[in-house]
Amino acid sequence: MLTLAAFALALGFLITVHEYGHYRMAVACGVKVLRFSIGFGPALYSWKIKGSSTEFVIGAVPLGGFVKMLDEREAAVPPTQRHHAFNCRPLYARFAIVAAGPLANLMLAVLLYAVVNWSGVVMPAPMLAAPEPGSVAAQAGLVGGERAVRAGFGDLELDDLQSYDDVHWLLTRAILEKRDLLLEISGPALKQSRMIRLRLGELESTEPERELFRRIGLVGPFTRPLLGDIKVGAAADRAGLRKGDLVRQVGTVSVSDGQQLRRLIRGAVTGVQSSALPWKIDRAGVELVLNVQPERQIEGGIWIGRIGAYVGSVPEMVTVRYGPIHGLWLAVVRCWDVSALTVRMMGKMLLGEASLKNLSGPLTIADYAGKSANSGLTQYVLFLALISVSLGVLNLLPIPVLDGGHLMYYLWEWITGKPVSDKSLDRLQRGGFAILLVLMSIAIFNDINRLLG
């Protein structure tokens, strides 16, 4: 129920902001707005504001919205009203009205990011987990437990890292831009901070994001290899493990963090056989050795090990907060960076340089909406900001039927001095609809695979 409510609220809010951008710009440009609708189909509720001729409507199908303006192409317009018709307004006015919707989403994202920056957000500290053997991070010399202090793409471009989210963001940029990432690290095992280079420039980005980060070796922040709640009757319970046990060693492998322990548990199954291994644990200062045999479970078509316990402590958390000016500036930068990376990712998918499995549809978005809402207001606001950026960028793409497609028509009109012909417009609109249908089909297919996987 929370997932559905969070998704519906997010969708309705972001659509309203988008359409309100069109509406306010239309009014500012002297265009008469006949209807402002959130949702399609039959009207569930409608009203008018005193002094306005616009009908405001809540539609039965909440999958979008529209602003219907006075337009000679749709119905006859009295001569006395022609100067209020959309098609009779100057080119710059029509361009501004169409662009205002996506820009409203981008402006909203800046505001939401700024609010989070000003109020502060509790996030995992930039502590690095033990990388998988053979990964890029392991080859660079990371062993786990280090703190990432600064990072960037050159000696003069290093930025201070406030949270693990900053690390993840720079890794994403490095992957898409095919650049190596310089990382300054410190830690108890290091006498002084040192610089390492993560060689990501040669990393192929045609795999889904999850697989890419596994190859890099940094899939999450450092957590202590501590056991949490244990399911009664599960493998952990049968072996005698208890909540609060700190795992020191599995077989002959020393365990340094929760992520590494989860890998060892998953990999305890060879074929369909599960291996029992001695676990060395610390229980309230007392060292114990227990034999643990994970249960076999199939996931994604392969057998993995499970013990029926929560593995890994809560990561070290920090509060990240910025002042009014700096917080607003960082919000603008984040909105720009997310927009640029979104366009770059779409371009790579179009060229076959990134996996189409990265496309997400409504089911995945709804799932993230529920998870973010369950994590608190701040995480939900960050989710809204991300989706608002995506909605703004998507609508600015030069695909017919989208706002960007109409802007493309106006650009043609500005260059040639004449509008796109009705015949060409009809063909382009049909083609654009087909493109969106294909993209949506792929996204929903990916959603189903993620849910079943």
The encoded tokens of residue 96 equal: 């501004």
Helices 377-396 and 362-374 meet at what angle, rounded to 10?
Answer: 150
> Residues of 239-274 as b/e, b for ≥16 C-beta within 10 angstroms?
bebeeebbbbbbeeeebbbbbbbbbbbbebbeeeeb
Closest listed residue to residue 145, CA positions, set 257, 260, 262, 246 = 257
Euclidean distance between CA atoms 248 and 280, whole angstroms? 5
- Beta pairing class for 147-152 and 159-160: antiparallel
The label of the residue with tokens 């610089």 reads 195
Neighbouring C-beta atoms of residue 355, cutoff 10 Å: 17
The encoded tokens of residue 446 equal: 């990916």
Instruction: Mark whether 19 is an active-site residue.
Output: yes
Strand, coil or helix: 62? strand
How many CA atoms does the CB half-sphere of 451 hold within 13 Å? 15
Euclidean distance between CA atoms 403 and 408, whole angstroms? 9
Q: Which residues pair with 230 in a beta bridge?
A: 309
Contact criterion met (CB below 8 Å) for 60 and 41: yes
Q: Which of 19, 132, 146, 184 is catalytic?
A: 19
What are the residue ranges of helices labelled H in 66-199?
91-119, 136-139, 164-177
Euclidean distance between CA atoms 243 and 311, whole angstroms? 10
Strand, coil or helix: 58? strand
Euclidean distance between CA atoms 182 and 156, whole angstroms? 11
Spell out the residues 6+ positions from residue 332 whose beta carbon is closer than 8 angstroms to its own. Answer: 110
Spell out the residues 6+ positions from residue 225 whose beta carbon is closer than 8 angstroms to its own. Answer: 246, 247, 248, 255, 256, 257, 258, 260, 261, 311, 312, 313
The encoded tokens of residue 106 equal: 């981008």
Supply the residues annotated as catalytic.
Answer: 19
